[in-house]
Amino acid sequence: MQFLLAFVVVAPLLGAVAALLPAPPGLKGKSPDQAVLRHGVTVTGAILVAALALTLGFDHDHPSKMQATTDISWIPALDVRIHLGIDGISLPLLVLTALLTFLCALYSYFKMPAGPSPKAFVALLLVLESGTLATFAVLDLLLFFLAFEMVLIPMYFLIARWGGAERRAAAWKFILYTLLGSVVMLLGLLLVGLKAGTFDMVALATDNGRGLTTSVQVTAVLAIGVGLAVKTPMWPLHSWLPDAHTAAPTVGSVLLAGVLLKMGTYGFVRIALPVAPDGMRTLAPYLAAFAVVGIIYGSLACLALARKGAKGDLKRLIAYSSVGHMGFVLLGIASMTPTGVNGALFANIAHGLITGLLFFLVGALKDRFGTADLDTLAGATGAALYGRAPRLGGLLAFGAVASLGLPGLAGFWGEMLTMFGAFDPAEGLSRPAFLTFMAIAGVGTLLTAAYLLVVVRRVCMGVPQRQAPGQATIADVQGYEFAAWTPLVALTVLAGLWPAVLLGLTDPAVQKLLAGGKS
């Protein structure tokens, strides 16, 4: 188990180095570009297999216990250790990351985004995977910061080199926002480590803030929270996200929404809640207020983009929907209750599956029609997907109803549990305030349903026009697309019908985390 976890974290880096080296003569095949893309599929596939083996070997009877741990001294002078481990909170995120990266590598093998050499593309994809996996596996504050920052450079280049229009401006905006937030976060992490005398996250969680004064905790949560909120992203620190998603290639958008946003909310659960509970309790009402404003703001922005004549970009619309969905995650965390935090973790996974699928689908639409502009897709000669490409239309409708929280699909449970958490928040939090937040979030669910159903009506419905002479036929879902999208559809249904699979992992770990390390 120790070897498997270390392999999952380190293997992508080794694979990235290998991708940049010349391929052995026997492996080049007819096309060196295809050979390096095949290398990406092989490495990410091996990491997914290792992650699944880690899941099978995980002690599911004790998910609150840190397992597959490695603890080696790295910088003795600063007491920084290479400390790895997983529990019921981090394991689902680890598997989600491995799955989405493999599906992106598989999709890219058949549909490589336009841009420079595939060698650099595959290497950056693997470095991004390594940094994300490390974020969910490390148990040292400074290592967490390094892993958290490690993903910025590869994502910057994926947007700037393989993105669409305005890609350079979007990439700069992405990296400047996130770097600025990270600098503030580093100060908060150093404050906690120096005041508590250790950077070990397990020891800090067990201490449960007893070694830190309330003022230190408030300052630390505020500083750490800014960096995490930018990555989440929380309103009003979200403005980099729509530009980044609109400009990014399809696989960049899938990984950005499906994995990178989860790093911010994971940090709140893993660091802020157990390490500085008094500081978190002080700032929780403000976090919840920003969260519900984000829910309403994201939904209204999507409604504005979806209306006729707005020239709304479908990728941009889904990016704004992420602001709303992550608002539910932050609301659950702010409730500081087992129900709310479990809901937040469930919503994290659901959002990764559903929004990853939606970005794949929008990428496919853009490839077929040359645009993601809603007015063009809904025009007289627009998509009319039910008639022209029924499988693609059906999948888009499925992704939309899953995203709006239809009962029986994954999107339902997370949002419901986060609102239950807000209905009865932790001791010391104002219940009237949180009841207000819950009501506002409830309005957000109605707005979410409204804009997603508008999108389905405009893009999927309509009478397909007769094909003009010489006009290319719109292809329905291809074999490689089925291969990349089917796991996301299946897991969305599985999580919706059998939520205990995920909640059985997270609940004992959350209970222990909120109880100060006591099972």
Contact predicate 363/314, CB 8 Å? no
**Ramachandran class of 29: left when φ > 0, alpha when ψ lies in -120 to 50, beta otherwise:** left
Radius of gyration of the chain from its Cα atoms, rounded to whole angstroms: 22
pLDDT of residue 256 exceeding 50, the answer is yes
More confident position, 81 or 107: 107
CB atoms within 10 A of CB 55: 17
Side-chain-facing half-sphere of 233: CA atoms under 13 Å: 25
Cα separation, 242 vs 313, whole angstroms: 10
Residue 473, Cβ density class (10 Å: 0-12 exposed, 13-18 middle, ≥19 buried): exposed
Hey, what amino acid is at 20? L
In the chain, the largest separation of any two C-alpha atoms, in whole Å, equals: 76
Cα separation, 46 vs 28, whole angstroms: 20
Q: What share of the chain is helix, strand, coil (3-state, %, to 5)?
A: 75, 5, 20
- The two tokens of residue 318 are 């889904």
The helix/strand/coil state of 67 is strand
Average pLDDT over residues 473-501: 88
Tens digits of residue pLDDT in 415-467: 999 999 999 898 888 899 999 999 999 999 999 999 999 988 888 887 666 55
Residue 496, Cβ density class (10 Å: 0-12 exposed, 13-18 middle, ≥19 buried): buried
- The two tokens of residue 53 are 């083996």
How much is the pLDDT for 169?
Answer: 87
Cα separation, 12 vs 217, whole angstroms: 36
Tens digits of residue pLDDT in 170-193: 888 888 888 888 889 999 999 988
The closest alpha carbon to 459, from 370, 362, 363, belongs to 362
Cα separation, 183 vs 128, whole angstroms: 20
- The two tokens of residue 469 are 């002479």
Average pLDDT over residues 333-344: 93
The helix/strand/coil state of 71 is strand
pLDDT of residue 24 exceeding 70, the answer is no
- The two tokens of residue 252 are 């960049």
Tens digits of residue pLDDT in 6-20: 999 999 999 999 888
Cα separation, 275 vs 425, whole angstroms: 19
* 235-265: b (≥16 Cβ within 10 Å) or e: bebbebbbbbbbbbbbbbbbbbbbbbbbbbb
Tallying the residues shown for the chain, one arrives at: 519
Q: Is the peptide bond before 233 cis (omega within 30 degrees of 0)?
A: yes
pLDDT of residue 200 exceeding 60, the answer is yes
* DSSP H helical ranges for 111-238: 118-137, 141-150, 152-162, 167-196, 201-207, 214-231
The closest alpha carbon to 301, from 248, 361, 239, belongs to 239
pLDDT of residue 471 exceeding 60, the answer is no
Percent of the chain with pLDDT over 70: 94
* 266-291: b (≥16 Cβ within 10 Å) or e: bbbbbbbbbbbbbbbbbbbbebbbbb
pLDDT of residue 468 exceeding 60, the answer is no
How much is the pLDDT for 23?
Answer: 65
How much is the pLDDT for 473?
Answer: 66
Average pLDDT over residues 62-76: 85
The closest alpha carbon to 397, from 320, 454, 313, belongs to 454
Q: Enter the pTM of the model.
A: 0.91
